[in-house]
């Protein structure tokens, strides 16, 4: 079921959780990760199809951990939505997946203003390859990335959509 394109207001939350997990053998504790960089500026732009919706939001928080072992950035636009990415912080393309050692997932919540003014929400999540994130560049001076999702099913299975976007961060 696709939502009508008339009178559309977007409240979109994209939570992208991409985490590479590894297990350690032996009884020693894993050392705490070190923060390589803290980001305070940047923007993201998200477009969702069916109906076509988009919003831009500023960076609220961002961290690069262990020189790229993990990147976490969060963007919030109270009227538009949010995007959160947590995952590999090294250049490359990462497909959504869940294995014994790795989880790469995307969560997306879309609000569409109906004719009566109410704003119902539709949530989406991906762990089966519907989405990919491409880290173009990231280091202590900042970075940028893109993401693309195709045929992403809603959590209740009633809606499918495509989504694309970009995000960047800087100190």
For 96-135, what is the HEC assignment?
Answer: CEECCCEEEEEEEEEEECCCCCCCCEEEEEECCCCEEEEE
Please tell me which residue, 127 or 134, carries the higher pLDDT value.
134
Question: What is the percentage of the chain residues whose pLDDT exceeds 70?
Answer: 66
Is residue 4, in this structure, part of any structural domain at all?
no
pLDDT greater at residue 47 or residue 29:
47
Asked if the structure places residue 31 within a domain, the reply is: no
Range of the domain at 41: 10-20+36-169
Average pLDDT of the residues in 61-75: 87
pLDDT score recorded for residue 116: 62
145 domain residue, yes or no: yes
pLDDT > 90 fraction of the chain, expressed in percent and rounded: 23
Asked whether the beta carbons of 31 and 49 are under 8 A apart, the reply is no
Cα(123)–Cα(153) distance, integer angstroms: 9
Question: Is residue 101 pLDDT above 90, yes or no?
Answer: no
97 occurs within a structural domain: yes
Query: CA-to-CA distance for 162 and 171, rounded, in angstroms?
Result: 31
Name the residue with higher pLDDT: 10 or 126: 126
Decide if 131 contacts 124 (C-beta within 8 A): no
Q: Is 90 exceeded by the pLDDT of residue 93?
A: yes
Structural domain contains residue 5: no
Domain membership flag for residue 73 = yes
Instruction: Find the angle CA(153)-CA(145)-CA(66) to the nearest 5 degrees.
Output: 110
More confident: 162 or 10: 162
**Residue 16, pLDDT score:** 34
Q: What is the mean pLDDT of the chain?
A: 74
Residue 81 scores a pLDDT above 90: no
Query: Tokens 């732009």 appear where?
Result: 45
Q: What is the pTM of this model?
A: 0.72
| Assigned domain for 25 exists | no
27 within a domain of the structure (yes/no): no
Across 42-51, 78-87, 92-101, 109-118, least confident range: 109-118
- Number of domains forming the structure of the chain: 1
């Amino acid at each position: 079921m696709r939502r009508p394109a008339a009178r559309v207001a977007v409240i979109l939350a994209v939570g992208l959780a991409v985490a590479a997990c590894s297990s350690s053998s032996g009884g020693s504790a894993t050392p705490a990760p070190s923060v390589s960089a803290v980001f305070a500026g940047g923007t993201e732009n998200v477009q969702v199809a069916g109906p076509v919706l988009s919003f831009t939001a500023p960076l609220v928080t961002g961290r690069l951990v262990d020189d790229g072992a993990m990147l976490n950035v969060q963007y919030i636009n109270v009227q538009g939505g949010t995007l959160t990415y947590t995952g590999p912080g090294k250049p490359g393309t990462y497909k959504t997946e869940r294995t014994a050692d790795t989880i790469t997932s995307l969560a997306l919540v879309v609000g569409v203003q109906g004719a009566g003014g109410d704003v119902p929400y539709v949530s989406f999540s991906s762990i089966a390859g519907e989405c990919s994130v491409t880290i173009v560049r990231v280091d202590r001076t900042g970075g940028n990335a893109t993401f693309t999702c195709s045929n992403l099913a809603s959590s209740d299975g009633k809606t499918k959509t495509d989504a694309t976007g970009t995000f960047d961060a800087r100190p």
